Amino acid sequence: MKQNSVLKEFWKALHSMKFGIILLLLIGISSIAGTMIPQNNPLPFYERQYSSLIYTLITTLSLHDVYASWWFITMMVVLSANLTLCSIIRLPMLIKQMTQSPELQWELKRKNYLIKKELDQDIDVEKFFKQARFSRIKKLQTKDGMYYWSYKNRFGVLGSWLTHVGLLIIIVSYMFGQIAGFETYVYGVPGMKEKVENTPYEIQIDNFEIQFREDHSVNQYISEITVLDAVTGKQLKSGELSVNHPFRMKDFSIYQNGTGWAVDMVLKREDQVIAERILYQSEIHVDDHQRIALQFVNFYPDYHSSMGRPFTISPYPNNPQLLYTVFYEGVRADMGVVAMGETIEWEEYTFTIGNPRQFTLLQITKDPGILGAKVGGFLLLLGILFAFYFQPRQLKALKREDGQVVLWADTNKDQENYKEQIQQLLQTI
């Protein structure tokens, strides 16, 4: 018996609006954590940035990947179940409210109307209804007299229901997008080709331009790219993309995400070249069986120094210099600033840095749930519109054989305005 009672309470909670609101609050708090804590970085990043206690909490609760954590997905699934059950259970009742005809005897006995007025004089009931802006007037001859009734905005009762359904569709679309879609990044300088992970495509970066305003602030980032078949090398589509203007393919979209600096690096050991590559900002090049490493810490295109602090006075490469760190046999050995064409020497190793240019960072996403999210968003807005601007109202009257009229008026929302409207009309009789 106790087990049945627990199950009943669980079932009752699962389809209650109160439980749904609690879940929404928890999801909102979790989303704040996902905003405040940088997401999807390598674990050493969090170990460096936070205390040992916070780092333990982040790794234990997967706060570095909130939206893919088991507890966040569980809350989303339970909220989806809650919204589904609430919507299914409430729909028959809402349909009944929109379609059922009133019963006169029950109306005569009911006492909790917003307005119930008995008029001694004979009035034109249909004219009164039209003055109250009720156009679809129905009437029925009964043994008590002629019964009139009319409803306005009956579909307004669907407001909260449409809001729930819209939210449900958004959540389901999001989860479907997370399962069936993907997100990845590629970066490079013009002339580079990069394979797009999880797709049969390759992206060729044809050009990259940064447009500046007069005050040197960035106006726009523009990348020109060509999408290729990774197997055959066939060109599939070319074009440009910029911030807020993505490049669209049938299977995915490409967004302009960011930029940074890149340099050509040559590494020699005792005058013999052992590595040549493009080194990108924040990257670290490790070589010779992890004996030597160079980290690209920062870049100053128009280098100046004040009180020992490096900075750049413009975004243009007038005096380009690179801030670096050298690691030797696993230990940081040197840190400094080097101009283009100069060398960095440590023991038997020599690094040469040159040819600075900016690279483009592209975000590639496939989200098959985006259409469902748009539909859900539309239903959500429609539900809010119905709930706030289309309040259901009703007006009823019984005209007895002796000319006496009983008038009823009711609404669940905006009651004071409706009551005042009807009372003003009654004063004109």
Q: In what order do the strands lie in the sheet with 292-300?
A: 284-287, 292-300, 321-328, 331-339
- Establish how many alpha carbons lie within 13 A of residue 153's alpha carbon, considering only the half-sphere containing its beta carbon: 17
Ordered DSSP codes for 238-307: EEEEETTBPEE-SS-EEEEEEEEEEEEEEEEETTEEEEEEEEETT-EEEETTTTEEEEEEEEETBEEEET
Cβ-based neighbour number of residue 235 at 10 Å:
11
Structure pTM? 0.69
pLDDT, residue 175, reads: 84
pLDDT, residue 351, reads: 97
Phi, psi values for residue 303, rounded to 5°: -70, 135
pLDDT tens, N- to C-terminus, the chain (429 residues):
555 677 777 777 787 888 888 988 998 898 888 888 888 777 877 887 888 898 899 999 899 888 888 999 899 889 889 889 989 998 998 898 888 888 877 777 777 788 888 888 788 999 999 999 998 999 989 888 899 999 999 999 999 999 999 999 998 998 888 788 888 899 999 999 999 987 899 999 999 999 999 998 999 999 999 999 999 999 999 999 999 999 999 889 999 998 999 999 999 999 999 999 999 999 999 999 999 999 999 999 999 998 889 999 999 999 999 999 999 999 999 999 999 999 999 999 999 999 999 999 999 998 899 899 999 999 999 999 999 889 899 999 999 888 889 898 999 888 899 999 999 998 887
CATH topology for 101-153+392-428 is: Double Stranded RNA Binding Domain (3.30.160)
Distance CA 262, CA 69 (A): 35
Ordered DSSP codes for 105-146: HHHHH----SEEEEE-S---HHHHHHHTT----EEEEETTEE
pLDDT, residue 4, reads: 64
- Establish how many alpha carbons lie within 13 A of residue 38's alpha carbon, considering only the half-sphere containing its beta carbon: 11
Distance CA 64, CA 54 (A): 11
Domain ranges within the chain, ordered by starting residue: 2-96, 101-153+392-428, 261-361
